[in-house]
Amino acid sequence: MSTSRHAKGMECKGNLINRRRRSERDRRLRNRQRRIQYRLRDRVWSPQDAPMLGARNIHYALADKVRGLGSGGIGAMHLLARGTGLIEAIDGRLHLLKVHLPYHESDHVLNIAYNLLAGGTCLEDMELRRQDEVYLDALGAQRIPDPTTAGDFCRRFEASDIQGLMNAVNTVRVKVWRDQPASFFEEAVIEADGLMVPTTGECKEGMDLSYQGAWGYHPLLASLANTAEPLFVANRSGNRPSHEGAAWYLDRAARLCREGGFQKILLRGDTDFTQTAHLDRWDAAGTRFVFGIDAMPNLVEIAESLPKTAWRRLDRPARYEVKTQPRERPENVKEQIVRRREFQNIRLHSEAAAQFDYRPTLCEKAYRVVVVRKNLSVEKGECVLFDDVRYFFYLTNDRERSASDVVFCANDRCDQENLIAQLKGGVRALQAPVDDLNSNWAYMVMASLAWTLKAWFALSLPEHGRWSAKHKTEKRRVLRMEFKTFLNAFLRVPCQIIRAGRRIVYRLLAWNPWQHVFLRGVNALRCPIRC
């Protein structure tokens, strides 16, 4: 009994110390915020004799005891990788090294992802991390792989190894999902799309000419639209069609989401991913879908034969809510130039939507087709050349949504274009820095893990308690952040690194408006993920 009382007493004492530490931390945050707000306060300035940027006597010196790190948020990312079990999952599924001299598989994988999170843009930037003693100490590492070793590691992968790595990441992904509130699991929206990764080399195995005449690879991306997470990445030769292998990865993504606890599954894609050979099977399994379908002559004929009463005006909702006084719409400069120079200009006058049933050739049953009719005018200068009508078709088994909601749902697929842009230009994950199809595929998967860790950090932010509404808004904002914005807010945090016994302390040296969210996320990561 005395031992039990002693343990409880020690636990209470520890909780008291932690509360005091948090209270002191919050006080310092408020003071830093107060100082910068006072500095940036609105005031009436008198004319200044000199420019505001007036520093003159600037010197650089080397510090002896104080050691700083510009990318102080990397500690939170490593805490996330360790807390979610990602390191163990990678080492448990991936067996590419016979002996670990000195690195494990997880060291190589995370080294590639951390390089991008720390501001690197290519394999060669690993050398900057490798030569940074403070960066190594911040991660508790004696050394990390150099760019050549990282490239050699990518070359070890076979297709089965890459699949194993994606499965390992997705095992952890399910754990992260299960820690979300009940509203998170209403419906999983899964999207698929292809993209071109151009190459400038001449000896990269597997590259080919695309239909646009560019050399490179044509990877396939299957993602969860709810969180903008890349679920699967499949590298393909540059001449392969967009839909090749898409059904298989969509099936895997659907199984993953069901395992994660989602109640409904919705597959979404453009006209290249209609996959009519699989629609009956998906419908029988209770999976909903919304795909674009080509405006084939028979569909256009059906649309033109519909009565006028079948059409309903399509009014698109505003992109955002105006919370202040609405401003006058500025003059359309582009349109003025087009008219003045008498270029051909196509203007949209109105849209209408209708619906009918249609059975694709490879299907045993008919499905709902929603058609959008765009009424256009083709102009040249101030003259209207002729009116034009164009049709856009969407195939779905969803009988509950209205026709307009089906259209808006299909158009929301454009968000995946933003994800692809972020993975390609922001993270720079969809690149081909190595020399064959599988090694570049492996690099894409490992590099895209940087974006996945960003999404997981956002999902780890708690949204309960007194300020739940505010926390939900912050969580959505972090989840929707561009990669560069995320790095500036959460990774490029200057810190002093202190090693004290078994502890590695990141002492924050500056304040930014997202720092309270960052610290709240770090506190949440120190608690185990609910399984």
CB 218 within 8 A of CB 239: yes
**DSSP conformation class of 237:** B
All residues at 6 or more sequence positions from 151 whose CB lies less than 8 Å from its CB, including other chains: 123, 433, 434, 439
The token duo for 274 is 């209609």
Query: Is residue 167 assigned to a domain?
Result: no
**DSSP conformation class of 487:** I
Parent domain of 389: 293-314+335-398
Identify the pLDDT of residue 166: 98
Helices marked H in 156-212: 159-177
Reported as half-sphere exposure (CB side, CA atoms, 13 A), residue 406 has a value of: 25
CB 221 within 8 A of CB 154: no
Cα 131 from chain centroid? 30
Query: Is residue 35 assigned to a domain?
Result: no
For every one of its 531 residues, what pLDDT tens digit does the chain have, with 9 covering 90 and above? 455 655 555 556 556 666 776 777 778 778 878 887 887 788 887 887 778 777 777 777 767 778 899 999 999 999 999 999 999 999 999 999 999 999 999 999 999 999 999 999 999 999 999 999 999 999 999 999 999 999 999 999 999 999 999 999 999 999 999 999 999 999 999 999 999 999 888 888 888 888 778 899 999 999 999 999 999 999 999 888 888 999 999 999 999 999 999 999 999 998 888 889 999 999 999 999 999 999 999 999 999 999 999 999 998 877 666 666 777 778 888 878 877 887 888 888 889 999 999 999 999 999 999 999 998 888 787 777 767 889 999 999 999 999 999 999 999 888 889 999 999 999 999 999 999 999 999 999 999 999 999 999 999 999 887 888 999 999 999 999 999 999 999 999 999 998 887 889 999 998 899 999 999 999 998 764 443
Query: Is residue 319 assigned to a domain?
Result: no
- Picking from 198, 194, 237, 239, the residue whose alpha carbon sits closest to that of residue 216 is 198
Identify the pLDDT of residue 194: 92
Cα 211 from chain centroid? 27
Identify the pLDDT of residue 379: 79
The token duo for 364 is 């045993």
Q: Is the peptide bond before 147 cis (omega within 30 degrees of 0)?
A: no
The token duo for 285 is 């399994």
All residues at 6 or more sequence positions from 377 whose CB lies less than 8 Å from its CB, including other chains: 346, 347, 349, 384, 386, 387, 388
Largest CA distance in the chain: 95
Identify the pLDDT of residue 341: 80
**DSSP conformation class of 491:** I
- If 0-12 CB within 10 Å is exposed, 13-18 middle and 19+ buried, where does residue 3 land? exposed
How open is the CA angle 508-510-511, to the nearest 5 degrees? 105
Query: Is residue 216 assigned to a domain?
Result: no
Distance CA 61, CA 317 (A): 57
Q: Which residue has the tokens 């990390």?
A: 144
Identify the pLDDT of residue 349: 84
The token duo for 373 is 């009719």
- In this structure, how many other beta carbons lie within 10 angstroms of the beta carbon of residue 115? 28
Query: Is residue 309 assigned to a domain?
Result: yes
Number of domains in the chain: 1
- In this structure, how many other beta carbons lie within 10 angstroms of the beta carbon of residue 163? 16
Give the DSSP H/E element, type plus range, for residue 500.
strand 495-500
Distance CA 114, CA 133 (A): 15
pTM: 0.88
Query: Is residue 385 assigned to a domain?
Result: yes
Query: Is residue 8 assigned to a domain?
Result: no
Query: Is residue 308 assigned to a domain?
Result: yes
Residue 381 backbone class (left: φ over 0; alpha: ψ -120 to 50; beta: rest): left
Identify the pLDDT of residue 459: 96
Identify the pLDDT of residue 242: 86
Q: Which residue has the tokens 């995320």?
A: 486
CA dihedral sign of residues 374, 226, 429, 488? positive
Distance CA 317, CA 265 (A): 25
Q: Find the length of the chain.
A: 531
Alpha-carbon dihedral 422, 189, 76, 23, rounded to 10 degrees: 120
Q: Which residue has the tokens 């209470």?
A: 12
